Amino acid sequence: MGIILKWLTLTASIMISAYLIPGVVIAGLWSALILAAVLGLINVLLKPILVVVTLPINILTLGLFTFVINALLILLAGTIVKGFDVGGFLNALLFGILLSVVNFVLSKILDPLK
């Protein structure tokens, strides 16, 4: 799947997830497009470092601490992107989980060969 299609899929996933979680507000399509790019950059640059640094705690919690890392990165993206507001840590946690599920389903629908 091309990078543009992945970006648009993540944007659609963000719009759907923000609609379904009451504490998450996205201003519009442009904010969702920017948020998709910012989340992509954060996941490429910061997430691997945080996973390695928190590896002992991640092992103790059997990988569940990764959800906490995702929620914190979503909160970070909320401070960077204007037009994206997360109501708190729990909303960010739920948004991250739902975003992953919706993005997976949309990716499978749009690219069924993988």
pLDDT tens profile 48-66 = 999 999 999 999 999 999 9
As for how many domains the chain has, the answer is 1
Res 112 pLDDT > 80 = no
* Residue 74, pLDDT score: 96
Token pair for residue 64?
Answer: 């569940």
Strand blocks (E) in 1-114? 24-26, 84-86
- Domain residues for the domain of 50 are 3-110
Please name the helix (run of DSSP H) or strand (run of DSSP E) that holds residue 24, with its range, or none. strand 24-26
Of the chain, the end-to-end C-alpha distance in Å amounts to: 9
- How many angstroms separate the CA atoms of 21 and 92, rounded? 9
